[in-house]
Amino acid sequence: MVLGTQTAFRPDLLVLDQKQLVHEPLWHKEPVITLGSSIKLIVEVVSSNWQNDYARKTEDYALFGVPEYWIVDYLGLGGRDYIGNPKQPTLTICTLDGDKYQKQIFRHEEQLVSSIFPTLGLTANQIFAAGSVAS
C-alpha cells in the first residue's frame, strides 16, 4: 500500500473492496494499493515497536481515508495512554470520522463493534485466541 508518494506500509491484514480494484493503477501488475477507497479495513498486530501502530499508522491511515483500523495488542505491549493501566490485552477499533479516528477499546469478553462487519459477533478474547491457534 502506498500513501502519497513516499510512504509504504505492509499491514498485517487488509480487507479490500473488490469493486474498487478496477481503479487501482498498479493492481493488475502487483499487489499495491494506492487509493484509500479500495480499502475497507486494516488490521495491525502490535509488536515491540508498538508506537507505530498506535501513533504513526493511526494518523496515516486516517489521512488515507481507511474507514476502519484495528489495533490487536494481544500481549498488552502498548503504552498506558493507549491501553490503560494495568496494561492488558486490548483490541482497539478505530472508526474514521472525518479525517480522524474515533477509538473504542475492547478487552476480555467484550463483543467487538465494527462498522465494516456489523454482525461480526466476536469478542476480544476470541480474536486473541485465534492468533494462538495459528502459531
Which pTM value belongs to this model?
0.89
What average pLDDT score do residues 49-70 get?
94
Closest residue by Cα to residue 117 from 33, 46, 45, 15 = 15
Q: What is the pLDDT of residues 3-48, one digit of tens each?
A: 554 567 789 999 999 999 899 888 888 888 888 889 999 999 999 9
Give the three-state DSSP class for 95.
strand
User: Rounded to an integer, what distance in angstroms lies between the CA atom of residue 1 and that of residue 37?
Assistant: 12
Domain boundaries, the chain: 2-134
Q: What is the pLDDT of residues 103-113, one digit of tens each?
A: 999 999 999 99
Give the three-state DSSP class for 62.
helix
E-assigned strands of the chain?
2-3, 7-8, 13-16, 39-45, 68-73, 90-97, 100-106
